[in-house]
Chain A
């Protein structure tokens, strides 16, 4: 079933999105009907195991529930943000097996046995991750609402390309929106973090 595979790395997201259109249409129809009748919420509880920020998690949850809400509501990890609910803004970005994934799109059952990292998982003890440190040092934020998603996308970018060019950083963060317009400094921060992570600094 396509749904269960919807772990969507951002780069391939657009193509997969098109593939998912049929499914979404069907889902919408279903939801619409369901909204009209108002007969409660379908619940298919199942046990889901995954690794969250390095620690094993076992949950009894509705498998179709989106990871974003499981993280925020069930697990109390509110660092991951809701921005648009449709994968367009990037505020909900988390890492699943090294890929930046929109947690508003992926169902919790799809992270079964996988490795999930959220913004809360980057800090080690008191030590900020180089990206977090660089974002603070560069004043690469204003309201801070896009920041966790932005940092997680940058984290995935640096995992795949340890010394990205400015053009590559811009392209890598293209789908993470920042209305305060801190992009210039976000790019500088990612460069600084990249250098630090390679041990140049």
Chain B
């Protein structure tokens, strides 16, 4: 369904969604952010040259997931940073943090295919599976 194979694309008339599974909730958060960059630029086009500590706070885990993805989109827009990896993903009561690895936008190498405006609450899903966690996020593009 996608070049890197760790998420599937959910069809939505006007927009684009993703579904993915990972061992734990923090890993689901990190993978969802990576999927965004895969959709926007293709992960293979992004090198890991800089690291950024990113932290968000919200009341519920679902809100945290949306807030986290929108925080990443904000950093992407303002700092022109593209991420290709996340480590040290930590989820605690009302907060999520991770270390993002990536580089600055280079108009020659980074040919954007899709502008993601925001992660939405529309059909949002974050649920426990038999093994691990599953998330579904629809993006406004």
The reply to whether chain A is a binding partner of chain B is: no
Residues in chain A within 8 A of chain B (CB atoms): none
